[in-house]
């Protein structure tokens, strides 16, 4: 049994955009939200991709998702999850996929942890063949969504609550665990683990990372390669991501992973 795990934020970390937007598209195709609402969500998704999200915007998104599912049978959204995953998988960054592979090969359990609905996050984790997905859980009574949360909103301090519970249940040593995120909203989660890594960080996250000596990884926006790795302490953890592509599992398991410093992989 492993005592270490790696936790990855989803939006703007594993993928460049907003997973909630693709959930909204699926809900729209099912006739559960209006075209106007979808257009507004599309605009928000563009802004999120460029600038990230504030606490207020994230809470508003939570409320919209809860309102959209309220009164509907849970089976509908579980069924929709498959079509959402088809759109998300091509948007997983090849560099991020390489990091998932690296941690799996090092014997660590790997999780996605996201504010997106757990139905989407857990299904994506299965598609990526990793240990699990942690997301926002909506309350279900008699097979129907109530429009209320069943657990802490998996955002900000809520992510830290969810992570602590999982670590206690699974016996993970948080000092040996890793966490990846772009946003300062995830600082409660990042500060729990012994190995926090900032990925394409927003300005507040970048400032904290430099001040605390966290590794900082930036992926090229246009070309799929790492353009900068700033390591204030530790080794070149994420250099393994260079040159990796989706659907090329045998190539991903080649030399770049072996060039990582031994002391990083042995933590």
**Catalytic residue annotation:** 9, 11
Distance CA(7)–CA(135), nearest Å, equals 12
CB 197 within 8 A of CB 177: no
Distance CA(137)–CA(122), nearest Å, equals 11
CB 158 within 8 A of CB 178: no
Residues 6+ apart with CB under 8 A from 223: none
Q: In which residue are the tokens 């009164």 written? A: 71
Query: If DSSP states are collapsed to H, E and C, what string results for 184-253?
Result: HHHHHHHCCCCEEEEECCCHHHHHHHHHHCCCEEEECCCCCCEEEEECCCCCCHHHHHCCCCCCCHHHHC
> Cα-atom radius of gyration of the chain, to the nearest Å?
18
Closest CA to 94 of 248, 205, 211, 265: 248
Structure tokens that stand for 21 in this block: 């937007």
Q: Which residues pair with 149 in a beta bridge?
A: 138
Distance CA(4)–CA(107), nearest Å, equals 8
Map residue 35 onto helix, strand or coil. helix
């Amino acid at each position: 049994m492993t005592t270490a795990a790696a936790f990855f934020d989803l939006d703007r970390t594993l993928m460049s955009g907003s997973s909630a937007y693709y959930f909204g598209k699926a809900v729209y195709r099912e006739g559960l939200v209006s075209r106007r609402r979808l257009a507004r969500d599309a605009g928000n998704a563009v802004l999120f991709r460029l600038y990230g999200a504030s606490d207020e915007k994230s809470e508003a998104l939570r409320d919209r998702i809860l309102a959209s599912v309220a009164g509907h049978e849970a089976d509908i959204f579980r069924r929709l999850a498959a079509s959402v995953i088809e759109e998300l998988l091509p948007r997983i960054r090849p560099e991020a996929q390489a990091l998932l592979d690296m941690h799996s090969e090092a014997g660590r359990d790997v999780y996605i942890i996201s504010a997106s609905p757990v139905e989407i996050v857990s299904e994506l984790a299965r598609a990526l063949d990793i240990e699990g997905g942690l997301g926002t859980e909506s309350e279900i009574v008699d097979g129907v969504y109530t429009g209320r949360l069943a657990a802490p909103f998996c955002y900000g301090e809520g992510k830290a609550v969810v992570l602590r519970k999982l670590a206690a249940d699974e016996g993970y040593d948080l000092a040996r665990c890793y966490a990846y995120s772009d946003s300062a909203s995830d600082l409660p989660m990042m500060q729990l683990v012994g190995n926090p890594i900032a990925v394409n960080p927003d300005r507040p996250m970048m400032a904290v990372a430099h001040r605390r000596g966290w590794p900082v990884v930036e992926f090229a926006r246009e070309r799929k390669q790492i353009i900068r790795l700033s390591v204030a302490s530790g080794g070149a953890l994420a250099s393994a991501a260079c040159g990796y592509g989706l659907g090329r599992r045998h190539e991903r398991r080649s030399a770049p992973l072996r060039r990582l410093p031994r002391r990083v992989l042995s933590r």
